[in-house]
Structure 1
Amino acid sequence: MKKKIVSALLCATLLSGLLTGCGNVGAEQQGSGETGSSDQSAEKTSEVSEDSQSSATEETPAVPEDFDPRTAGLSDIFPLEEPITLTYLIRQNDAMAATMDTYADVEFLKRLEELTNVHIEWNHNCSEEAFATMISSKQYPDLINYPLMGVAGGPSALIEDGVILDLTEMIPQYAPNYWAWMKNNPDMDLANRLDDGTIFSLGCQLGNWETLKFEKTYISGPQIRKDWLDKLGLEMPTTIDELYEVLVAFKENDCNGNGDPDDEIPYVIAGGDKRLGETMYTLAQCFGTGNSFIMDGDTVVYGPLTDYYKDFVTFMNKLYTEGLINSDFPINEDAFNLILQDQGGFTIDAMNSGVIAAHDLLKQTDDSYNYVSMAWPTGPDGQQVGMGRSGGGGRMTAISTQCEYPEIALAWLDYAYSYAGSLNATFGIEGESYDMVDGYPTIREEVKTTNDAWNVEENLCRWMVGSINYPCIRDIRFYEQMNLVEDYQKEIQANWGPQKEEYGTGMPGVVLTAEENDEFSDIMADVKTYVSECTLKFIRNEMSLDEWDSFTDNIEKMNIGKALEIQQAAVDRFNSRQ
């Protein structure tokens, strides 16, 4: 019977459902996520005989030019006559882990199983060790959601080694909703392919259903105690020099008014590799550089070898020497608590867990407290933060070669790129977690607020995947309700977006070949460790800045030139994608 189901999907039923039947979905059906065609689908599937398997290899029609995911929904092939089970490896975020065992408890995914008759066995063990063990065992789940660009050799190696499928030919036929979005956003389409044009996965995109265009949100940036500025009669700093003057003022005055003139930490930096990257190294972009590879026009350069990087390190050394940053910054991963404890004045951190959370918590302590975002300051030579370039990456879902039903799996994934599926994925269940109010999906108050059992994010995760990196079109209207409500929240996006559109130091989403990756990894393992250690030593006066030339000479001797050559070749291939 399973073979009958697959045969049906590979021939008339799947394509009929994807390319014609889904156009019959009305507005009410879209809101509920129902297609109204389940009986017909069951009849179609049950009529398929073993003889129809021969048609599976026949050429299938292309997606019509006028196909519109706004009027599409779940394929008519669902629900399947008999249930099937797919296995899915995907990370479970902290909020979900706090409230449920697996994604099976999310109301949207419960509804999706009812609609499709596809059961998912979830595996949330996504550690690097677990992934490596899975690859070496040659036992793969049907669906793999993982940062595949970071795997040795990248997705190309995974395809060549028979781990994941090349989806290029399958996508237009079995994922027309996803395909339509990509055709309407060609830059992102190219960025999410490999250098040879291969499509290997589906990812999460923030989308606007009115325009069928992807949207940008900036999720990390500078944040500051505006009430401290007001108390001192200071304006919001707009340059690095002005930021320095503000930090000095924060230190020299009892800004929190507790009578202790020495407990203020002007600039809070959190430790650990990840947190240092967020709270300190991002500031290097204001100097026109970074602590890794960056772009100078079309040329790849290594940030720590630039004079700009020395300017950045010199600035940070100045802050450290004058006591303007927390002295334990290399190791204190929880330094953000200094902001919450009314001691920190400025940092660079996330939107939700940073400025929004701290703003609300500080307001609960004292309504006069005002913690807000600020624009990225310009550097000494007028540089502006480069927000990076479009590119593939992050956690995307691929289909493994051991998946018995790849077409079903792809059609199942594709639902979340239709309007109906996007509503369910982003907002949950109509009439339960959200209501359509004048055509606008409005999250219910009891769902988007904290209660005795869960915080806001935990509450949301019970219903939807709108706040996590799940493969779908994440409706921009989710952010309008959750992150862009109050004036200070609306200012975040204006402040953290690029202040100069022509400026950008970010690398595109390049892909290294397996051979390049091996050589590059060998070089950079030592280089990154050396640069990180020396940078901290320079800042903390454990190395003199007079030793800078020796520092850069040593990097050159570590074969950084070859690493640059590899990155440049990858960028050239990226720029040549068609």
Structure 2
Amino acid sequence: MKTFLTANLSVLAAALMVSTAMGADLRILTAVTGGKDAAEHEQFVAELEKHLGLDIEMVKPASDYNNVLFTSLASGERYDLIYGDSKMLPGLVEQGALTDVTDLVAASAVLSDETAIPAGEWQLFDIEGRKWAVPNKFEGGTLPTIRQDWLEESGMETPVTLDDWTAFFKWAKDNKDAYGLSTSKLYDIQGFMSAEGVKAGYVLVDGKRTIPYATPAAAAVYDWFGMLSKEGLLDPNFVTNGSGEFRNLFMTDRVAAVTYWDAWVGLFNNIMATDHPDSSFEAKGVAGVPGPDGEIILRRGDASLWMIPANAEHPENAIKFLEFWHSEPGYVLGTLGIEGVDYNKTADGKYELTEQGQAHGMDHGSPRVASTTWENPFPPLPGVDEAQAIIMEHATMEYLPAEWTEAAPIVEKHAFQAMLGEVTGAEAVEAMHAELLAAGLIDE
């Protein structure tokens, strides 16, 4: 078994060149899959070797994963499998850095099984009908998440319109001395922008780049946020918040709703039930606001992927790993972890998490699998299934090409001014659109 590399970028590059000569049957570069620390990672790799019958090197950089990945690829470093996401896929394909796995998937009884990997998961990163990667896990999405116990106490129904949300936020302020809503910057106001049929990121219209958040349709929702600010219903620190800040507000009775990942509905409930068993706290995921056509727009997370580099030495072993990863033993390893370390099995075949396993949260790279048939031995956390169903019905991925990194600060600058009530929504989108157009970041 090869060593677990956690060096900085320069040391890692040298180490990789040496390790290439070791002749592993399978070399993997990973960001999230594996052990939670160096010691457990070696145990994780040993478990993989036992299942696959291969000599495996699984490199998991301690930090700067994307830098390590792109530096390794640019230097010609050879891996059989690399971890990435759907945002980076088009660029890697264009550069000729990846293997087209369409035929390899079709030839695999496991990978082509739509109960193991549903057709909808492949469609998330389809490039002109070809497959250039294989899903790592099920990726959820973000949605408004409400204090359901407060909603029930208020006697109100689940909010549907922006007016419904405003009424609940006012109730929370008057009765709980809490903000109505907290978020982090524009992450993620999509569920409310849905009210005007506006989608985040770029949208191509007849081949031309547009940013719907910079169009007149978005102005009314910015004005709604501005009204929330003026009435003390929106956490004013949303401009600088990280996710930790609004999570803390939510779990300490200081805000009635946040916008976050579907999985966190269950995590909120589990944390509060564990740490504060006498609390009435209950979080619930809520669908966004229907737009003029009745449709709801939510955000699906970027697909996390396994890719086979074009210079892979053992692509057949990469496929062997992927078939294992999408089978029951792989599901158990990717979720619960390692038998005897993270969990034990009783005489009657039941699973019991160890103290370490509980601390690791049943996440060793694939906390939620793509399979539609496998059932985790432990029940889902409260509220997760319902939130996930909302995401599956309404969420799509955003289109964020390279120029989004330049466009996003412009969008945020003007959007924040409107959301804080400093300018009108119309003024914000006019200035935003003009600046984006002048910078060549949109086409119309």
Q: Give the alignment's TM-score, normalised by structure 2.
A: 0.77
1:201 aligns with 2:138: no
Give 1:269 shift.
1.7
SS of residue paired to 1:88: strand
Correspondence list, 1:204-283, <5 A: 204-205=136-137, 218-253=140-175, 255=176, 262=177, 264-271=178-185, 276-278=186-188, 280-283=189-192
Q: Distance in 2 between matches of 1:507 and 1:227?
A: 31
Correspondence list, 1:108-507, <5 A: 109-125=45-61, 127-147=65-85, 149-150=87-88, 154-159=91-96, 163-173=97-107, 175-181=108-114, 185-186=118-119, 188-189=121-122, 192-195=125-128, 197-205=129-137, 218-253=140-175, 255=176, 262=177, 264-271=178-185, 276-278=186-188, 280-294=189-203, 301-333=210-242, 334-352=245-263, 354-363=264-273, 364-365=275-276, 367-379=278-290, 381=292, 383-387=294-298, 394-418=303-327, 421-422=330-331, 425-426=334-335, 433=343, 444-447=351-354, 451=355, 454=356, 456=358, 458=360, 460-461=362-363, 465-467=365-367, 473=371, 476-478=374-376, 481-483=378-380, 486=382, 488-494=383-389, 498=393, 506=396
User: Is the CA contact 1:417–1:473 (under 8 Å) kept in the aligned structure 2?
Assistant: yes
Give CA-to-partner distance per residue, 1:481-514, whole Å, 9 cap, x none. 3425x5x45543455553xxxxx6846879xxxx
In structure 2, relative to structure 1, the CA distance for the partners of 1:295 and 1:148 (3 Å cut) is closer
SS of residue paired to 2:324: helix
Q: Greater RCO between the two (CA within 8 Å, min separation 6)?
A: 2
Q: Distance in 1 between matches of 2:340 and 2:150?
A: 44
SS of residue paired to 1:134: helix
RMSD (CA atoms)? 4.0
SS of residue paired to 1:320: helix
In structure 2, relative to structure 1, the CA distance for the partners of 1:427 and 1:525 (3 Å cut) is closer
Give CA-to-partner distance per residue, 1:59-84, whole Å, 9 cap, x none. xxxxxxxxxxxxxxxxxxxxxxxx94
Q: Distance in 1 between matches of 2:266 and 2:117?
A: 33
User: Is the CA contact 1:287–1:312 (under 8 Å) kept in the aligned structure 2?
Assistant: yes
**What residue is the counterpart of 2:32 in the other structure?**
92
SS of residue paired to 1:220: strand
Q: Distance in 2 between matches of 1:312 and 1:326?
A: 16
In structure 2, relative to structure 1, the CA distance for the partners of 1:329 and 1:301 (3 Å cut) is same
In structure 2, relative to structure 1, the CA distance for the partners of 1:376 and 1:468 (3 Å cut) is closer
Amino acid paired to 2:378: Q
In structure 2, relative to structure 1, the CA distance for the partners of 1:187 and 1:558 (3 Å cut) is same
Unaligned runs of 5+ in 1: 1-82, 207-216, 256-261, 499-503, 511-519, 565-578
User: Is the CA contact 1:387–1:497 (under 8 Å) kept in the aligned structure 2?
Assistant: no
User: Is the CA contact 1:96–1:458 (under 8 Å) kept in the aligned structure 2?
Assistant: no
Amino acid paired to 2:84: Y
User: Is the CA contact 2:162–2:289 (under 8 Å) kept in the aligned structure 1?
Assistant: yes
Give 1:355 shift.
2.5
User: Is the CA contact 1:227–1:368 (under 8 Å) kept in the aligned structure 2?
Assistant: no
Give CA-to-partner distance per residue, 1:512-570, whole Å, 9 cap, x none. xxxxxxxx645x444332112111122123444452434333433443554x7xxxxxx
In structure 2, relative to structure 1, the CA distance for the partners of 1:420 and 1:533 (3 Å cut) is same
User: Is the CA contact 1:86–1:120 (under 8 Å) kept in the aligned structure 2?
Assistant: yes
Give 1:356 shift.
2.3
User: How many residues end up aligned between the 2 structures?
Assistant: 416
Q: Distance in 1 between matches of 2:115 and 2:282?
A: 38
Q: Distance in 2 between matches of 1:505 and 1:299?
A: 23
SS of residue paired to 2:306: strand
In structure 2, relative to structure 1, the CA distance for the partners of 1:225 and 1:455 (3 Å cut) is farther
Q: Distance in 2 between matches of 1:171 and 1:380?
A: 38
**What residue is the counterpart of 1:46 in the other structure?**
none
Q: Distance in 2 between matches of 1:101 and 1:335?
A: 33
**What residue is the counterpart of 2:4 in the other structure?**
none
Q: Distance in 2 between matches of 1:134 and 1:409?
A: 18
Q: Distance in 1 between matches of 2:122 and 2:155?
A: 49
User: Is the CA contact 2:201–2:212 (under 8 Å) kept in the aligned structure 1?
Assistant: yes
Q: Distance in 2 between matches of 1:292 and 1:424?
A: 35
Q: Distance in 1 between matches of 2:73 and 2:420?
A: 42
User: Is the CA contact 1:270–1:336 (under 8 Å) kept in the aligned structure 2?
Assistant: no
**What residue is the counterpart of 2:19 in the other structure?**
none
Give CA-to-partner distance per residue, 1:187-241, whole Å, 9 cap, x none. 555554421x4332222355xxxxxxxxxx8553222223323444333323221
**What residue is the counterpart of 2:42 in the other structure?**
104
Q: Distance in 1 between matches of 2:87 and 2:115?
A: 19
Give CA-to-partner distance per residue, 1:358-385, whole Å, 9 cap, x none. 3234344363523221432534747442
Give 1:331 shift.
1.0
In structure 2, relative to structure 1, the CA distance for the partners of 1:474 and 1:404 (3 Å cut) is farther
